[in-house]
Amino acid sequence: MHTSLKLRFAAVAALGAITLSLGTAQAAEEPRRPECIAPAQPGGGFDLTCRLATEGLKQSGALKTAMRIVYMPGGIGAVAYNNIVAQHPNEPGTIVAFSGGSLLNLAQGKFGKYNVNDVRWLAAIGTDYGVAVVRNDSPYTDLKGLMDAFKQDPTKIVLGAGGTVGSQDWMKAALTAKAAGVDFKKMRFVAFEGGGEAVTALRGGHIQAYMGDAAEAFTMLEGGAPIRVLAVFNDQRLPGKLNTVPTAKEQGYDIVWPIIRGFYVGPKVSDSDYQFWVDAFNKTTAAPEFEKLRQQQGLFPFNKTGPELDAYVKNQVKQYGELADTFGLMKK
């Protein structure tokens, strides 16, 4: 080959390599105006999830720009899910919080025409567990006492939860009732948009018990809320300040209900922008400071990102669908 032609090919190859390098660097740039959507009112588990990400990404240096939190209540995540998929499918700077409850609702078709395949599952940063909560002046001092009263007269015990019939909080109540030999169809159940509203109702005496999450309860106890946690829905007691709370299993009710907390992005977010967030969360959850942040929010380790989380989420949705079917909640 002629020398000048070789040089020309070499120059073209070098230019291509430089262009590819610049493109990769550009694609990996931090998104402008990053935001975390919490699909409920302030004060509940979605808010907690966004706050943990905001602080963790900042501390680890994975995100240089301050990330704001946007509240988008409605349908326990359905409004946010539909908004992202239909109206903002390609927003590289927007991550949306989800929980095990979101996956349960997806399994039951509660997010409208969209399903588990319609977003890109990004990262899980911790797990929570279900709890049964009453006011601190309640006559019920343990789960057995509450369930005995419930069994004696289901109409006298009003249970509140963040979510409608079929939600994860409803499911925790239904599983507990079933374990106690009470027909779950006889439960007096009041649905709230999120955990914050449910606890407000509990404190006001409008409901007798709240089937919520350990992290929420931990945060409320730290803030001086007048509540009492009767049971944790885990196979062992939780470490830290909730270690004095017995499990439901210890009290005769074999119920375990983990609640993962994480994020997804729109379906048309590019691979490079998606990978930016995957890398950012991998860096954040590996940082020693993050474990302290997670503990402060009452959460426990559960780190999955990218394809690993995608596979986990889709399997969970399948299992939740089978569970919901046993309660007659699935559309035929």
DSSP annotation string for 67-124: PEEEE--SGGGHHHHHHHHHT-TT-TTEEEEEEHHHHHHHHTTTTTT--GGGSEEEEE
Establish if 181 belongs to a structural domain: yes
CA dihedral sign, ordered 229, 230, 232, 235: positive
147 plus 103 within the same structural domain: no
Q: What is the pLDDT of residue 170?
A: 85
DSSP label of 247: B
Q: What is the pLDDT of residue 88?
A: 96
Quote the radius of gyration of the chain (alpha carbons, Å). 23
Helix (H) or strand (E) holding 50: helix 45-60
Distances (CA, A) of 196 to 3, 213, 275: 74, 11, 33
| CA 303 to chain CA centroid, nearest Å | 13
The amino acid at residue 288 is P
Establish if 14 belongs to a structural domain: no
Q: Which two tokens stand for residue 332?
A: 């035929």
DSSP label of 205: T
120 plus 226 within the same structural domain: no
pLDDT tens for residues 261-281?
A: 999 999 999 999 999 999 999
Q: How far apart are CA 253 and CA 136, in angstroms?
A: 22
Whether the Cβ atoms of residue 47 and residue 71 lie closer than 8 Å to each other: yes
Q: How many domains does the chain have?
A: 2
Q: Going along the chain, which residue ranges are E strands? A: 35-38, 68-71, 94-99, 120-135, 158-162, 188-192, 209-213, 227-233, 258-265, 304-305
> pTM value?
0.76
pLDDT tens for residues 74-118?
A: 887 899 999 999 999 999 999 999 999 899 989 999 899 999 999
Establish if 164 belongs to a structural domain: yes
Strands 35-38 and 120-135: unpaired
Q: What is the pLDDT of residue 211?
A: 87
64 plus 211 within the same structural domain: no
166 plus 238 within the same structural domain: yes
Q: What is the pLDDT of residue 16?
A: 44
Q: Specify burial of residue 25 (Cβ count, 10 A radius: 0-12, 13-18, 19+).
A: exposed
Provide the domain limits for residue 63: 35-127+259-326
Establish if 65 belongs to a structural domain: yes
Ranking 15-24, 75-84, 241-250 by mean pLDDT, the lowest is: 15-24
Beta bridge partners of 259: 128
117 plus 142 within the same structural domain: no
Ranking 110-114, 126-130, 218-222, 308-312 by mean pLDDT, the lowest is: 218-222
276 plus 179 within the same structural domain: no
Establish if 156 belongs to a structural domain: yes
Average of pLDDT values for 60-65?
95
Q: Specify burial of residue 243 (Cβ count, 10 A radius: 0-12, 13-18, 19+).
A: exposed
Strands 304-305 and 227-233: unpaired
Q: How far apart are CA 57 and CA 70, in angstroms?
A: 17
Distances (CA, A) of 143 to 49, 151, 211, 246, 322: 27, 12, 11, 9, 27
Distances (CA, A) of 291 to 66, 79, 240: 20, 31, 13
Mean pLDDT, the chain, integer: 87
* CATH number for the domain that contains residue 148: 3.40.190.10
